[in-house]
Chains A and B, each alone.
Chain A
Amino acid sequence: LVTVVVLVAGVAAAITGFALTKRAVDDQNAALLREDGLQAASVIESLVADIGGTVNTVSALAAVNAPKGVIGPNTDAEIAKLATGFSVALVKPAPGGYRVAYAKGPDFVVGQSVTAPVLQAVASSGPTMSGTRVFSVGGHPALALVEGPATSGLGAVVVQFPLDPYATVKTLASGPFSNLVGAVYAETGQHPSQVVFATTYRVPVTGTTVTEPISVQGVHWSMVVRARPGVTLTGSFASAWPYFVLILVLLVTALMVITTEVLARRHRFAARQVASRTAELEASLGELRAAQEALVRSERLSAVGEMASVVGHELRNPLTAVTNSHFLLRQSLGDPAPDPVEKHLAMAERETAKAATLAEDLTAFVRPRSPVFEPVRLDEVVHEVLEATPPPSGVDVSVDTQSDVIEADRVQITEVLVNLVTNAYQAMPEGGSVTVAARATNGSASLVVADSGPGVAPDAAARLFEPFFTTKANGTGLGLAIVRRLVESHGGDVSLDNGDPGGARFTVRVPVSQGSRP
């Protein structure tokens, strides 16, 4: 974004700089053009004035010699100063117009009437020189200068000469005004027919032009000039300035854009690096935390296990003595013992049995045994388990097994199923149904125990296989931990999901063959 802003600002600055410089140079050009135009106009005026001088002289001589009826030799000499092709006439009023009273040169014949447009110039002539518009003589342009007035009795002097307006196009290509091209018109407009002379074939002159009046006595012409195409009056260096400014600012802009972009990219790269390093750091921090938690958990488990082992063993001796005492009591008092002794004795025996189970669980959890694998028929194991742990009243058991044979530790797989089935019974104190399914497919055996009890709450489900975690009032929290340990020692896993429509469903998966264990 910054790069784009810099780019836009730079280009805008370049264009503005170019425009401002261009305008200054253009202004300078226009000023120079005006100046050069003025100078050119004054030069042309002096040239015309020279001609005017001759016309005045001729006119004056004519006036002096008029009484003699001739213009005289002096006049001829004066006329001879004029360029070849010039014709001079003394014109006097005559009935119905003006007649040539004296003529010198090819264009006039004494006694002839003057025709338009010289006629208008003669008729309106005054004591100062005036000029005609450009007119055609035998298909060639010509111009006449007149000084009068014709009615003064002396008559009017007419100097007529042919024009070659474009003769100077090439000759003026070098010289004082070679930077200019333009045209002088015998009027204030720019009609091509009125070109007196021009330094270009392209008339009317267009573009950036300057128009200057050329006024000599009563002659009112105009000059239109412009700079010669390809030439700048301020010089090539000055005219190059706007482009120089444009390129310079564009270059600076490009440099700034590149610098900005490089910095931006570096910044982005650094930001990405930081982000990726941060992510790595966070990941390893997470791993570290997880590892630490695992370590703490395993150390806690190990400490708890050690304690459990000691407690389990230490409980066994007193429990043995208590059990023996109950037996001896019963022998002494009879079986059943007389009330209320029987009630208390039975309770003592029940509770001792529970304590004995706890001691066994503790020992079994702490003292895992490596499985001894042998072929085991799934349906046989299931039936053995259900025989050993018959369902309490109110609980229906349905079995879905096949005679598939897997490689397993019979005792341990039995213990797994006993634990799961016992759990299922205990989950339904009000009765319900239990489904036990076992089958082997595609190298994997699944043992499923599902009950119709309340199921397991999600937060409890997450911890259900942890040792000493229990949702039961009298549970040791070791049953499912033992299940998981035994299943894992078979290279399998155990999972829990809430069944359909409800209840808990435990699924044990173990490899059919231990040789196929990964």
Chain B
Amino acid sequence: MTGETPRADAVLVVDDDDDIRTSVAEILRGQGYAVSEAENGERALDLVQHRRFAAVVLDLRMPRCDGVAVLDALDAPPPVVVMSSHRLARADAVRLQGKIAWYLEKPFPPRRLIDAVAGSVKAAGGES
């Protein structure tokens, strides 16, 4: 997929909780993003390696390959909005500092999610 211009409105939502994932996806679709969904880290990595996303909304705690593993696996990931019900361990936070654009603690007002995704896309120099 190298050389392909990333679509400004392509956003990947990764969460093992179906209700959260689908509702987040729907909120973002409502904002005009083309939203893809992944229910675990493996699937997310697969998608990110084959397509370009303007932003990734990533849950941290997931069965099989969790959010931290996804971030560790990607050298230059797209802007990542982390949403989690758990705080990052200090060591992880330090290591992954440059790879996380926003951190949202669950539950969050949906408006903040929208702002975070928009801010991340903009900061990454996307068009939108």
Cβ–Cβ < 8 Å partners of B109 in chain A: 323
CA distance A360 to B85 in the complex (A): 10
Asked, given contacts A327-B110, A356-B107, A367-B87, whether A317 binds B20 with beta carbons under 8 Å apart, the answer is yes
| Contact residue among B27, B85, B86, B105 (Cβ-Cβ distance under 8 Å from A324) | B27
Query: Chain B: how many interface residues by the 8 Å CB criterion?
Result: 19
Asked, given contacts A313-B86, A328-B30, A331-B30, whether A319 binds B24 with beta carbons under 8 Å apart, the answer is no
Q: Does B83 have its Cβ within 8 Å of any Cβ on chain A?
A: yes
Render A317-343 as a binary contact track against B, CB cut-off 8 A, 1 for contact.
111111111011001000000000000
Cβ–Cβ < 8 Å partners of B86 in chain A: 313
Render B95-126 as a binary contact track against A, CB cut-off 8 A, 1 for contact.
00000000001111111000000000000000
| Contact residue among A321, A359, A360, A367 (Cβ-Cβ distance under 8 Å from B23) | A321
Query: Which residues of B83-97 have CB atoms within 8 Å of chain A's CB atoms?
Result: 83, 85-87
The answer to whether A328 and B106 touch across the interface, beta carbons within 8 angstroms, is: no
If over half of A's interface residues share one DSSP class (helix, strand or loop), that class is named, otherwise mixed; here it is: helix
Q: Does B17 have its Cβ within 8 Å of any Cβ on chain A?
A: yes
Residue of B nearest to A318 (CB): B19
Interface size range on A against B:
10 to 19
| Contact residue among A321, A328, A360 (Cβ-Cβ distance under 8 Å from B20) | A321
Q: In angstroms, how far is the closest chain B Cβ from the Cβ of A306? A: 15
The answer to whether A316 and B23 touch across the interface, beta carbons within 8 angstroms, is: no
| Contact residue among B106, B110, B111 (Cβ-Cβ distance under 8 Å from A316) | B106
Cβ–Cβ < 8 Å partners of B27 in chain A: 324, 327-328, 331
The answer to whether B106 and A319 touch across the interface, beta carbons within 8 angstroms, is: yes
The answer to whether A323 and B108 touch across the interface, beta carbons within 8 angstroms, is: yes
Cβ–Cβ < 8 Å partners of B17 in chain A: 317, 320-321
Cβ–Cβ < 8 Å partners of A331 in chain B: 27, 30
The answer to whether A323 and B85 touch across the interface, beta carbons within 8 angstroms, is: no
Cβ–Cβ < 8 Å partners of A360 in chain B: 105
Asked, given contacts A323-B110, A327-B110, A331-B30, whether A317 binds B85 with beta carbons under 8 Å apart, the answer is yes
Cβ–Cβ < 8 Å partners of B105 in chain A: 316, 360
CA distance A257 to B107 in the complex (A): 88
Cβ–Cβ < 8 Å partners of B106 in chain A: 316-317, 319-320
> Which residues of B line the A interface, CB within 8 A?
17, 19-20, 23-24, 26-27, 30, 83, 85-87, 105-111
> Which residues of A line the B interface, CB within 8 A?
313, 316-325, 327-328, 331, 352, 356, 359-360, 367
Query: What are 7 A-B pairs with beta-carbon distances under 8 A?
Result: A317-B17, A317-B85, A320-B107, A321-B17, A321-B20, A324-B20, A328-B30
